[in-house]
Amino acid sequence: MADAAWNRNAAAVRTRRVRDGRDAILLHDRGRAVPAPGLPHRVASSHVELYWKCDQGEPGIMRVQGMARNPWSPQEVRSLEFDLFGVDRDDRVVSGAHAAAPNYQLGTNQTTRFDVALRLTGREARYDLVYRYRFQELEEMAALLAGPPTRLQLAQSTVQFMIRGACSDSQHLAR
């Protein structure tokens, strides 16, 4: 379970520090998430917010470590997976790695960590991160709201995004 400690800053804005594994994220009561120091990159889609860092500490390995969060959706985000690709100067994929988030589903305001380790070939000019998840959508929402009760139909769609240049020093920076 998440370890939580409440504190107040000088402006009396309440924050909550949530720890999941080694990573941490600050959740403001205004609903905006602010990454902990050390996770400089950020992107957000309709259902998932990602914070990450790129680390080439080990020889021949590029590691992308971070935190994923379902910031607002009452529907769970399921089966969050990541692919990290090394791309050369001619936009050809020269290396790839896959990882899945340890938590199978993320409810509202829940977080999970992720870690993708890519074995380098030496030809990589940039790194692209692809993330995908399953999200359950309610079909025929208008009929549910406006008409007589109907049989509820659920469809689970796979949503996928690519972050081009995920380890760039100038792109996807958390602010």
Q: What is the pTM of this model?
A: 0.72
Q: Are 113 and 58 in contact (CB under 8 A)?
A: no
Domain boundaries, the chain: 38-163
Beta strands 49-55; 61-69: pairing state = antiparallel
Instruction: Compute the mean pLDDT over every residue in the chain, rounded to the nearest whole number.
Output: 76
Q: Which two tokens stand for residue 83?
A: 């692919």
Give the homologous superfamily in CATH for domain 38-163: Gamma-adaptin ear (GAE) domain (2.60.40.1230)
pLDDT at 7 (0 to 100): 30
What confidence category does residue 150 fall into, taking pLDDT thresholds of 50, 70 and 90? Answer: low
Q: Are 17 and 8 in contact (CB under 8 A)?
A: no
Among the listed residues 127, 110, 35, 26, the one whose alpha carbon sits nearest the alpha carbon of residue 75:
110
Distance CA 17, CA 6 (A): 7
